[in-house]
Structure 1
């Protein structure tokens, strides 16, 4: 096991129509009643008629005022009843304002995804990994539609990537997408398929940078900030699941969680973004994009255990960017290190025997930072500064928060006794 090689997004009221309805009702009923009451007497005289007319007029006025008052007061006395009655009335006065609002809301929720697909999609590429193909018993290379007969290479795998520098043709993808490649090709949204040069790769962070020489008409993504993501925020994943036949497929979902850990080489170096946006084989290396159209993650893995769905994981772009920049500038990445090898098999034993959980030191490099600090084989590291360490992944993630040459305090357990030492972080390079 190599040193430090750990296993591992003002309103118009509806009152006037109602008042009018109430007024009409109020005017109709009393008038009908008054007419039948005062015109039914066949012996009425002129003077009584004038009196009756005055009374009728007074009643009508009272009814009008009473109806108006009632209509005005109803919304305040019975607000819930009033609202239900008016909104449920199938008239243009009440339904017309509601329908446009519903339509606009629906369009708004769908509109960003269409814009993201339109704007970010052209920056997403397919990445093909070509390797020597083993010969069959007949002495011929196994047939494949992706066979590169001129060089004897065959497509061993494919994934996705995205352009981060259109002028220089730089593309980001996962290390595991191009691992072992003897030739790499990139398929662009305009139909071109170009050979790509490997600028640099780092297995410890599962990141790689490619470059294509023909940088004409390229589109680059806009990078976002993944340091303060909100769980439940909407996100979009774009990539090539299954290869170029499904190039630039768009799936949507939310950020299910942040700071997730996986015991996978490279992915264990980060607190990952978990999403339920569909991520399938071939999506690796593609972007996870927020609703502002900015890349917040690099899709890298999914939880594929039977019975589980919608559990994809992305490397946060803010955590990945320092390594990406190193790969572009120097072709390699360097990381802070203690120069120890760690074995997580200890934790199962520790749990069964009620021992301290931590990063079990399986080996220490002579003359390295850990050895100089007094850490030896069989020690169990439990803290880096004030942060608890319960596994090799925890140890890597904590160390990567610091810089080469930083001094840290390391807490460890030896034979049941807790000790704290100071160590100055050394340097390891990508491999």
Structure 2
């Protein structure tokens, strides 16, 4: 047999009977005078024959060669992976070392600089039992340039800022601006209010002597602003501020309350005058100035009470955006105003628009509001307001105001359709001015325009006439309501007192 099993035994023979060449053969073992053949677990290679095997009793199988080559290939692949891993580790270690070196270098320089600054700023002091010897500070060896400490001037935060021209002007005007509060008293009924006529006059449809403040029946119906004109207690405000009340109260900037009397109202210019009795209280009248010296972009400020008493004595700052700006209000009235971007809100009406000298140059009147508008406020120029308030204070109405000398009503599109009129406009129910009759204008006719300005409300007509004087001529566009014919006529204005 070519292969032997370790479990098979040959007949016992003594060792001396075994030839020497056999005892020297691989696999021979001596045990109790017996020998066994065993097959090694791994093949042995003959160094004299590359790839050969010096293995007696071993049968060569080509599959062994394949397993050998496969084992060799696997060993080579593992070697490549190991080498690549080692290279990656080396690269990472190099990067980490570089970063660490840079960080240590940076922090080392910073520590060195800090140490130099610390040592330079203070001298070392040696203390013994008797004397303290101050040593010289060490000399810095740094090559960095010494630019010296910054000399920054810092103010004491507890010191108030120096007052400028604007602040001084505001402090001058604020005491002259008051809160105007209007009430409705149920003792006279809510319908008893100021009756504002289209001619600019007013009637008080109640007895003011019967009104008492502080009663449960008094209801606040509005709040606005006003400006003190005289030490005797004359106050100017807007007509629309007092339009819904039947009694009025004034609150000064420092909280003193006064009952006020309405002296006169002019809806054409949206002005009104109130009067209080200050008694022993010393009021601060404003200083007023005309607008002839104003220029666009002059700085101005508004003083008033936006949102009423909640935000009393509020100052807003801006510039003059335009002068002599003709604006038509919601009621169709139009006038020349000072346009400003100083904030004017609800409650500012009737307040002051002032220059940097602290002079009141206008009475705040209206604001153009909406999602697409911002910074559009308007004030009545004092040049326009002064003669009006003088008449209101003295006579209760405006004197020498021009008028067409007619009575009637404005007809909008709904009224014109209802009455089957050929056009909208001011319907002439009665003609007093002879000049209109001479031009062939008849009662029942309709005025559609004056000097080329279309009438969109009765206020359009009255506001335009307010800029004229008695004796001036205007051109009217007329529609005959009976025939529908149209024509133009030039007429002469008369004094408004001749109409009443």
The reply on whether 1:189 has 2:253 as its aligned counterpart is yes
After superposition, the Cα gap between the structure-2 partners of 1:413 and 1:177, relative to the gap in structure 1 and judged at 3 Å, is closer
| Aligned residue number for residue 220 of structure 1 | 285
| Aligned residue number for residue 402 of structure 1 | 468
Residue 490 (structure 2) aligned to one of 381, 401, 421: 421
Instruction: Verify the 8 A CA contact 2:447 2:476 in the aligned structure 1.
Output: no
After superposition, the Cα gap between the structure-2 partners of 1:426 and 1:148, relative to the gap in structure 1 and judged at 3 Å, is closer
Give deviations 1:59-92, integer Å, cap 9, x for gaps. Answer: xxxxxxxxxxxxxxxxxxxxxxxxxxxxxxx99x
Deviation at 1:148, TM superposition (A): 6.1
Larger radius of gyration: 2
Deviation at 1:402, TM superposition (A): 2.7
Instruction: Verify the 8 A CA contact 1:200 1:209 in the aligned structure 2.
Output: yes
| Aligned residue number for residue 210 of structure 1 | 274
By percentage of residues, which structure has more helix?
1
Gaps of 5+ in 2: 1-146, 154-160, 188-211, 417-422
- Matching of residues 24-423 of structure 1 within 5 Å: 111-132=164-185, 150=215, 152-166=217-231, 168-214=232-278, 216-227=281-292, 229-258=294-323, 259-265=325-331, 268-334=333-399, 335-338=401-404, 339=406, 343=410, 360-368=425-433, 371-374=436-439, 375-376=441-442, 377-383=445-451, 388-391=452-455, 395-404=461-470, 406-412=471-477, 419-423=488-492
After superposition, the Cα gap between the structure-2 partners of 1:399 and 1:126, relative to the gap in structure 1 and judged at 3 Å, is same
Deviation at 1:270, TM superposition (A): 1.8
TM-score normalised over the length of structure 1: 0.61
TM-score normalised over the length of structure 2: 0.53
Structure 2: distance between partners of 1:283 and 1:131: 21
Structure 2: distance between partners of 1:203 and 1:121: 26
Deviation at 1:190, TM superposition (A): 2.8
Give deviations 1:31-78, integer Å, cap 9, x for gaps. Answer: xxxxxxxxxxxxxxxxxxxxxxxxxxxxxxxxxxxxxxxxxxxxxxxx
Deviation at 1:407, TM superposition (A): 3.9
Deviation at 1:183, TM superposition (A): 2.0
Structure 2: distance between partners of 1:327 and 1:163: 15
Deviation at 1:198, TM superposition (A): 1.1
After superposition, the Cα gap between the structure-2 partners of 1:120 and 1:149, relative to the gap in structure 1 and judged at 3 Å, is closer
Structure 1: distance between partners of 2:409 and 2:438: 17
Q: What SS does the corresponding residue of 2:333 show, helix, strand or coil?
A: helix
Instruction: Verify the 8 A CA contact 2:302 2:343 in the aligned structure 1.
Output: yes
How many corresponding residue pairs? 300
Give deviations 1:113-171, integer Å, cap 9, x for gaps. Answer: 2012111110000010011369xxxxxxxxxxxx96525101111000010111x1100
**Deviates most, 365-374 or 231-240:** 365-374
After superposition, the Cα gap between the structure-2 partners of 1:373 and 1:229, relative to the gap in structure 1 and judged at 3 Å, is farther
| Aligned residue number for residue 71 of structure 1 | none
Deviation at 1:398, TM superposition (A): 3.9
After superposition, the Cα gap between the structure-2 partners of 1:319 and 1:344, relative to the gap in structure 1 and judged at 3 Å, is farther
Instruction: Verify the 8 A CA contact 1:235 1:277 in the aligned structure 2.
Output: yes
Give deviations 1:293-350, integer Å, cap 9, x for gaps. Answer: 221111111112223221111111111111100011112224311126575858xx9x
Deviation at 1:365, TM superposition (A): 2.4
| Aligned residue number for residue 112 of structure 2 | none
Instruction: Verify the 8 A CA contact 1:332 1:429 in the aligned structure 2.
Output: no
Deviation at 1:430, TM superposition (A): 12
Instruction: Verify the 8 A CA contact 1:237 1:252 in the aligned structure 2.
Output: yes
Deviation at 1:359, TM superposition (A): 9.5
| Aligned residue number for residue 70 of structure 1 | none
After superposition, the Cα gap between the structure-2 partners of 1:413 and 1:227, relative to the gap in structure 1 and judged at 3 Å, is farther
Structure 2: distance between partners of 1:244 and 1:280: 13
After superposition, the Cα gap between the structure-2 partners of 1:382 and 1:235, relative to the gap in structure 1 and judged at 3 Å, is same
After superposition, the Cα gap between the structure-2 partners of 1:129 and 1:342, relative to the gap in structure 1 and judged at 3 Å, is same
Gaps of 5+ in 1: 1-89, 100-106, 135-146, 350-357
Structure 2: distance between partners of 1:420 and 1:303: 35
| Aligned residue number for residue 19 of structure 2 | none
Structure 2: distance between partners of 1:234 and 1:369: 49
Instruction: Verify the 8 A CA contact 2:304 2:314 in the aligned structure 1.
Output: yes
Structure 1: distance between partners of 2:368 and 2:249: 28
Instruction: Verify the 8 A CA contact 1:277 1:310 in the aligned structure 2.
Output: yes
Q: What SS does the corresponding residue of 2:255 show, helix, strand or coil?
A: coil
Instruction: Verify the 8 A CA contact 2:264 2:393 in the aligned structure 1.
Output: yes
Instruction: Verify the 8 A CA contact 2:337 2:381 in the aligned structure 1.
Output: yes
User: Cα RMSD over matched residues?
Assistant: 3.6
